[in-house]
Amino acid sequence: MTARTLLDKLWDAHEILRRADGMSLLWVDRHLVHEGSHHGFAKLAARGLPLAAPELTFAVVDHYAPTKNRDAIADPAIARMIDTLRQNAAQHGVRLYDLFDPHQGIVHVVGPEQGITLPGLLINCGDSHTSTHGAFGALAFGIGATEVAHVLATQTIWQRKPKAMRITVDGSLPLGVTAKDIALAWISKLGTDGAQGHAVEYTGSAIRALSMEGRMTLCNLSIEGGARFGMIAPDDVTADYVQGRPLAPKGTDWDAARADWATLHSDRDARFDRELTLDAADIAPTVTWGTSPEQALPITATIPNPDDLDPAKAKAAAEALDYMGLRPGTPIEGTAVDQVFIGSCTNGRIEDLRAAAAVLRGRRAKVPGLISPGSAQIKAQAEAEGLDRVFTDAGLDWAAAGCSMCVGMNGDLVAEGKRCASSTNRNFRGRQGRGARTHLMSPAMVAAAAVTGCLTDLRKLSGGMG
C-alpha cells in the first residue's frame, strides 16, 4: 500500500464520493453552531427543511455572550441574536449550551471539554478557528453560511482536498516560550499565505511535549498562516485529556476507540507537498507589531523599517506602522500599552490562566484589563484554584465566559487609538474595536505587560513565571 499522511487517512474515512472535478462529498461527524449561524437556519426555514441529524449538531452562545450583567442584556441587538439561537435550537431539537448553562463557553473550548471533539472525526463550524479541534487528530475546518445550511440539511459538505504540509518542531522550548510563540514564529517566517492551500500537520519532539491546551492553541492559529486547517496526531496525551469527558466513549467503546486512534498518524514514508523544520531553541517570546499575525517578532527585536523588507510587503508594513503609531528602528519592548486582555478560543483555557496568574501573583497591574475564561467550567476551576483572586488583587476585571474582546461583538471593546496587549488570534484593523491597536502574545506575556504597563520580556521579571 502507498504510505499515507494523516490527512489522507482522515479524508478517505469521510469521503462519500468524488466528482470528476475533484470535489469530495464528506460526511460530517459533528456540527457546531453559534449565534452567527442564524443564516444557515434561515436558509433551511425558507425551504421548509428539517435538520438531517440534530443529535450531531451542538449550539453554543459565545460570540455575543455578555461577560457581565447577563441577567439583563442592555443591547437589544445582542439579546436578539442570542434569542434567535435559542429558538432555532429548540425548534430543531439541538443541544444548546446557553448563557447560564454550567458548561457554556466558547464553542472551540466547549467542544473538547465535553468530549464532543474526538480523534478521527470531521468537525465543522461557521467560524474560522474551527481548526482548533485538529489538535485531537480530527479533520476540522470553518465553513461559510451556505455551507452551514448544507451541513444542517444533509450532514455532508463538499470540499476540495488541500495539499499536505508538515511543520516539524524539534528540541525543547526555552523558558517562557509557548505554543503561541511557535505559531507566531512560523507565521512570521512564511507569511499569512505561507500555508495557503495546505493542511498543516505539526510533528516533532517539541510538539509532542505540548499539553492539549498548547496543541489547541497551535492548531487554532494555523489559519492565520493561510492553512485550511491544522492537525496533530493523537497520542497518550490526547487520550488522557479525552477520557472521562461527558460525551467521550466509555467501557468497551473506549477500548475500541483507543485502538482506532492509534492508527491516526502519518505513515513513516508518507510524502508531504511542503515541509518546514524549526528548532525550538530558536523560538523566543514573540509579539506582533502590525496589523497582521505575520507582522511579529521576538520581544528582544526592533521594529522593522519597511524599506528593508520584501518590496511586496513594504507598503503593508508602512501602513501598519502608521496605524499602530510605531516608529521603525525602535525596540518593540517598552512600547506602552493602555490595557490588556486575556481570553479567547486561542488562549482562554485553564493552562493559560495559570500562566498569567503566575506572573501576576503578588503584583499590581499598571493598566486596566479584562480576563474572560474560555468556558464556565474553566471559570469555576480557576475560582476553585484561587486564580480569580490573583487577577482581581492585581486590579484586573474577572468576567464570565465568551468570545469577549477578541472580536468585540458583545460590547467588550478597545477604544479608538488605545493599545491592547492581547492573548487573542487576530490583530486586524478594528478587530477589537474601531481604531484599536492590538498586539498579540501569550497570556504570560500579556500579564507581564499588565504589571509593567508596556510590552515586556517576561523573562526579565524576577520570579515572573511561577
Tell me the per-residue pLDDT of 232-241, one tens digit each, with 9 for 90 and over.
999 999 999 9
Please classify residue 240 by burial: count the beta carbons closer than 10 Å to its beta carbon, then call 0-12 exposed, 13-18 middle and 19+ buried.
exposed
Give residue-wise pLDDT tens across range 247-280.
999 999 999 999 999 999 999 999 999 999 999 9
pTM summary value: 0.97
Q: Would the CATH topology of 7-274 be identical to that of 287-460?
A: yes
Segments making up each domain of the chain, as ranges: 7-274, 287-460
Averaged pLDDT, 8-37: 98
Whether CATH 3.30.1330.30 fits 7-274: no
Rounded Cα distance between 110 and 98, Å, is 12
Whole-number pLDDT of residue 462: 67
> Does residue 1 have a pLDDT over 90?
no
Residues 312-331: tens digit of each pLDDT: 999 999 999 999 999 999 99
Q: Which CATH architecture has domain 287-460?
A: 2-Layer Sandwich (3.30)
Q: Is the CB of residue 390 less than 8 Å from the CB of residue 466? A: no
Q: Look-up: residue for cell 481548526?
A: 131
* Mean pLDDT calculated for residue range 28-49: 97
The DSSP bridge pattern shows strands 30-33 and 57-60 to be parallel
Q: Is the pLDDT of residue 463 over 80?
A: no
**Rounded distance between C-alpha atoms, residue 130 and residue 86, angstroms:** 21
